Structures are given as C-alpha cells and as structure tokens.
Chains A and B, each alone.
Chain A
C-alpha cells in the first residue's frame, strides 16, 4: 500500500476526471437555479425553500378570482385580497429545489412516456433478436446442411457492416414504406444481430451432441429442441448478450434521431433529453440535469448491482 502510493495517486486523479461530470449532473439536479448560477451549496445545495416563479405566474389572480375569493376575506379591499391570494400562491408554489427539479423533469416533458418508450424499444429489439438469432445459431452449429458454410460466411461478412453506417439507406427504405415515426422504425433495423448469431453459434458448438440426440430420441422436433433444450443451456450467454443489447439501444441516440421527428409520443429517453435541452431558456439547468440523471441512472444502478455480468456483457464483442 505504501509502496504503491504513486499508483493510487495517478488512479485517483483519473477517478476525479471520470467522476466529475457525474458529480456535477447529480449535484445540479439537487440545487436551485441561484445556487447553480453562483456555484454555491456544495453537493446537495442548501435545500432552502424556493418559489417557482412560473407556478406563481400561472396562478396570478384575475378580477374574477378576486371577486370569488372576496367572501373568504371579509372586510378587505380588492388589492389586499389580491396580495393575500398572491402570497397564498407563493406559499403553495414554494418547495425544496430537489423536489422542484425532479417534479419539473416529469411534468415539463412526458418523461415517463419517454422511459416507457425506451423500455418498449429495447425490450422488443432484444426479444426479436433472440427469436431470429437463436434458431439460426443452432442450425449453423449443430445441423449439417448444404450451404451452411455459405450462410456462415455471410454472417461473417455482415459483421463488417455497422448498422449506424448504413443508416441513410435504411432511412430511405423506411421512408418509402411510410414507416418513419413509428415504433417499427425504431426496432426493425436492429432485429437482425449478426453478432448475436455468431456469439450463440460459438456457444452452441460447445454443447455436447449427446444432449441433442437424447432430445431427438425423446421425440422432440428441431424447433422444440431450440427452445426447450438449447435455450436453457444458453442462459448465461444470453444474459450477457441481453446486457450488451439493452445498453446499446437504451443509450442509442443516432438512430432514433433520424427516424423520429417531432412526434413526442415516440421519443426515446435520449431524444426527450435532447428536446428538453433545445427548449431550455437557460434557467432550467436543474430540471434538465434531473432528467439526465433519471435517464442515466437505471443502467448505472443495474451495473453497480451486477458489475461482473455487465462487464462481461459489454465486452462481449471482445470474445472470439
């Protein structure tokens, strides 16, 4: 430990640089606009009550409101009633900055909807990838058929093509089919994972043939073998692949940006955050950072809970 102090020093410096933006993101999501502007308040901010100006402005009493409220304030003049109403509104609209930031994050934009879209899109992508890739991987690994080498060669060739690179022709195809601004557009290009096929094939190669022969003896069809024999043996590999796939598509911004334009109902979390930023008039740092925190957190928390699996999953592409 004492001998290694210089190593720790270097690594700690690295830690500071790596952590800084996370620290700032979470910290800003706690603070009031004033604290952000002046750079005060430490990590959590002072959490003094703050008044939401917009909320007060929305409740600015009109002539009718004052007339309606008159019976509640007997013996007061109109302007006094008005002042009383405004201060009541201010009292209702004041809250802790952290509450303000996170409520704004969910009310200014349909953040829940975005998160739900993110879940729908990533889940459908993963499920379809498995449904398509698993049978193919099984056939390539365990069945003998004319053309197998050719199909596998095609898989290897397709591994060379990053889907982001062919985004433009894919976009044209989807536009021609009238599919832009649909869930289909978000999901379809990712339904085929050649990497998944390759990975599962390598895994299935290690499954003993006896297991499959035994299943055939029991009268199972090939289709049943894929789902009832091969799938259970492949759970660890599938889990790693799931992490790989979900992380990639939850975080993806490029593809949703291309095929979803304007229709907020289809926004994935990164698109929602982007729009939030575009709308910002500068005073909304707190809620925006709260949004960012909400979007980043699910994966980070999952990662912290199951680090080994995550690192395995993300570095899958390193497996050969």
Chain B
C-alpha cells in the first residue's frame, strides 16, 4: 500500500478525499439502523415516560390533562409508595452487600484450593443460569408451611439441644414453624434470600477472574514487609488489587437488585406480598402502569427508577476513571 501512495504523490490526496467522502457515507449507512433503533427504543421511551409522568394519561383515553408534579407528590406522600421504597431499599441494601461478600468469600476459598475448584465453581454458577421463575416456584415448594422441605428439616431439630439454645426452634416446635411467604415478618427476607442465592455465583465468577490478575510477587513483597497473617495479606494486597472488580460487581448487583420482579410476581401475583411488604418498584410499575392502567403514576415511578440506576452507573464510571487503587 505504501508503494501505491509514494508512486503517485499527486493523485493521492484527490482519491483519498473521494475515499473519505465515500467512507463517511458508508459509515452512516452502516450505523443508521442502530442509531434509529437506539433513538426509538431507548431514548424515546425515556422522554415519553418523562412527559407522561406529569399527566393523568391512561391507555384508551383520547386525551389527558397536565397535572403538574402531582404524581410525584403522590409518590412521596402515600403510604403505599412509602412501603414501595422501604421494600426496594431493604432488598437492595440486604442483597448487595451479602451477595457481594459471599461471592468474594467463595472466590477466595475456591481460589485457595488445589482440587475440586471447577466443581464448586460449576455448582455455584448453576442458579445464575437457571430460569428464575422456575426456581422461584421450586423455592415456593421448599417453603411450603406443611409439606415443604425447609419446615420438614426444621421439625427434625425438635427435641434436640437446638430447642434449648435457639428460641426460634423452641417457638417453632411448640407452636408451628413460620408460613414464610404468608408472613409479613419473613416475606421480604425470603425474597432477599432467593436474590442472594441466585446472584452470588455471578459475583464469585467475576472475583475469580479478578483474582487471577493479582500478581504473586505482590504477596511475597507484602510478606517481606511483615504482612504475616492471611488477613494482613488480604487487607494489603488482595483487596486493593480487587478494587476495580469490586466497583463493577457492586454496581451490577445493585442494578439487578433494583430490578427484582420474577420472584415477587410468582409468589404474590396480586398486591406485592403480605401487607405490601414486598411491593418493590418493578412490581409497582407493572401493577400501576400495566395492570391498573395508571400510566401517569407508573411513569413517575419509572423516572425515579431510571434516576436511581443512572446515578449508580455514573458513580461507578467515576470510580473507574479514578482507577480505584486505594
């Protein structure tokens, strides 16, 4: 190619100009479908939701009224929506740290093993692959108050020392064990548990990938500097080296946690659990916007939801730019 350019120095700029124009045309031609779809499918809906959140629109109505910020006011004053925020935040605040912590713990344990690493990795990753709705139904059977495996297992503990050392057991054996999904004290925690069960394997795999990039020499260096215990080595070498992985894992777990829906819809098709204790945002959008056709309020929740998610991602990008190496 170099030969072509040097052999005809006079003609080169002209043809390359023509080429540039053609390249530009092709480039736009190649990106056009993607651009169009991005605008129509991703950007337009955000704008539409933004606009509709200030109206009382319903599907099927010809017109709508502008009602200002009344939808948002409702979100922050009605007790239903207070429950929505409580449920969503409880879920996110519980699931994110625990599933990230368990993912990290499992990755560290597995990474330190010589044998069976692949086996553990495979098994812990199974829930990530499985259809969550199907697994939710399996969990529902496990948690069945009378014939479920959980309560049956607990019943086996009756009459043993467990009863004396664990008030929960004593209570369960004397009266009966919880109905789990029907009890507002337990419902949200069961949902959290399933969320953690499903997601921690994903975090584990990401951490395992992160661990392979920690240099061995760093551990030697730390040992030279007097980091004798395993905890010291973790604190001084592993954890800082995993910084970027952690930022990513936390963000993606957060975003997924905000989107929890399948389990809740499977357990309580109506109303979001006992006493609305599991009425999370995605379910609220579905119930208000789609089922009850209250598009205005549904859009307002959508906007709030988007704000949360974008805020989180922007924090993540900002942290990555700063190259999190504490």
Residues of chain A whose beta carbon lies under 8 Å from any beta carbon of chain B: 1, 4, 7-8, 10-11, 14-15, 17-22, 24-25, 28, 36-37, 39, 131-133, 135-136, 138-140, 143-148, 151, 154-155, 158-173, 175, 188-189, 191-192, 194, 197, 213, 217, 221-223, 226, 247, 250-251, 253-254, 257-258, 269-270, 273-274, 277-278, 285, 288-289, 292, 295-296, 299-300, 303-304, 307, 310-311, 314-315, 317-318, 320
Cβ–Cβ < 8 Å partners of A18 in chain B: 123-124, 126-127, 197, 201
Q: Mark B93-136, 1 if CB is under 8 A from A, else 0.
A: 00000000000001001101111101011111111111111110
Residue of A nearest to B118 (CB): A307
Q: A145-B23, A169-B302, A213-B1 are in contact. List 7 more A-B contacts (CB 8 A).
A: A18-B201, A172-B295, A251-B130, A289-B138, A292-B131, A310-B125, A315-B202
Stretch at the interface among B24-32, B81-89, B170-178: B24-32
Please give the distance in Å from B126's CB to the nearest CB on chain A: 6
A154, B38: Cβ atoms closer than 8 Å = yes
Residue B279 at the A interface, CB < 8 A? no
Q: Which of A1, A166, A277, A300 contacts B126 (CB 8 A)?
A: A300
Contact B48 A158 (CB under 8 A): no
Instruction: List, sorted by A's number, 16 A–B pairs whose CB atoms are closer than 8 Å.
Output: A14-B120, A24-B141, A143-B26, A143-B30, A147-B28, A151-B35, A164-B261, A173-B45, A222-B26, A253-B132, A270-B262, A273-B133, A273-B134, A288-B137, A317-B252, A318-B206
Q: Check B138–A304 contact: CB distance below 8 A.
A: no
A269 to B262, CA, bound (A): 14
Closest 4 CB pairs of A and B: A169-B45, A136-B34, A192-B37, A135-B30
B residues within 8 A CB of A172? 48, 52, 59, 295
B131 touches A226 (CB 8 A): no
Supposing A18-B197, A315-B205 touch, asked if A169 and B46 sit within 8 A by C-beta, the answer is: yes
Q: Determine if B38 and A155 form an interchain contact, defined as CB atoms under 8 angstroms apart.
A: yes
Q: Which residue of B37, B48, B147, B209 contacts A191 across the interface (Cβ within 8 Å)?
A: B37
Q: Is the CB–CB distance between A166 and B46 below 8 Å?
A: yes
Residue in B48, B152, B290 whose Cβ sees the most chain A Cβ within 10 Å: B290
Query: Bound state CA distance, A258 and B293, in angstroms?
Result: 12
Min Cβ gap A270→B in Å is 4
Which residues, 134 to 160 on B, are CB-close (under 8 Å) to A? Answer: 134-135, 137-139, 141-142, 147, 149, 152
Residues of A within 8 A of B252 (CB): 317-318
What residue of chain A has the Cβ atom nearest to residue B109's Cβ?
Answer: A7
Number of interface residues of B (CB under 8 A): 89
A296 and B135: CB pair below 8 A?
yes
Partner of A1, one of B115, B202, B289: B115
Residues of A within 8 A of B120 (CB): 11, 14-15
Given that A39-B152, A251-B131 are contacting pairs, would A21 and B142 also be in contact in the complex, using a CB cutoff of 8 Å?
yes
Does B266 touch A at the CB level, under 8 Å? yes
CA distance A147 to B30 in the complex (A): 13
Q: Shortest Cβ distance from B122 into chain A, in angstroms? A: 6
Contact between chains at A166 and B42 (CB < 8 Å): yes
Set of chain A residues within 8 Å of B290, measured between Cβ atoms: 168, 171, 258
CB of B165 closer than 8 Å to a CB of A: no
Contact A22 B27 (CB under 8 A): no
* Contacting residue for A154 out of B35, B45, B132, B314, CB 8 A: B35
Kindly report which residue of chain B lies nearest to residue A226, judged by CB atoms. B30
User: With A15-B123, A173-B45 known to touch, is A285 a contact of B141 (CB < 8 Å)?
Assistant: yes
Select one of B52, B106, B262, B285 contacting A14, CB under 8 A: B106
B300 to chain A, nearest CB (A): 10
| A34 smallest CB distance to B (angstroms) | 11
Q: Which of A172, A258, A304 has the most CB of B within 10 A?
A: A172
Given contacts A169-B45, A172-B59, contact A14 B124 (CB under 8 A): yes
Q: Mark B1-42, 1 if CB is under 8 A from A, else 0.
A: 100000000000000000010011011101101110110011
Pairwise interchain contact A135-B124, C-beta atoms closer than 8 A: no
| Complex alpha-carbon distance, A171 and B52, angstroms | 13
Minimum Cβ distance to chain A for residue B186 (Å): 17
B151 nearest CB across to chain A (Å): 10
- Name which residue of chain B comes closest to A197, CB basis: B34
Looking at A140, A160, A289, A303, the one whose CB has the most chain B CB atoms below 10 A away is A160
Stretch at the interface among B69-77, B219-227, B303-311: B303-311
> Given that A165-B305, A171-B290 are known contacts, is A194 also in contact with B42, CB under 8 Å in the complex?
yes
Chain B residues with Cβ below 8 Å from A160 are 309-310, 313-314
Q: Closest A-chain residue to B140, C-beta based? A: A277
Q: Which residue of A lies closest to B34 (CB)?
A: A136
- Contact with A247, one of B129, B209, B289 (Cβ below 8 angstroms): B129
CB closest residue in chain A, given B286 = A258
Q: Hey, which chain A residues are within 8 Å of B35, CB to CB?
A: 136, 151, 154
Contacts of B38 in A (CB 8 A): 154-155, 158, 192, 194
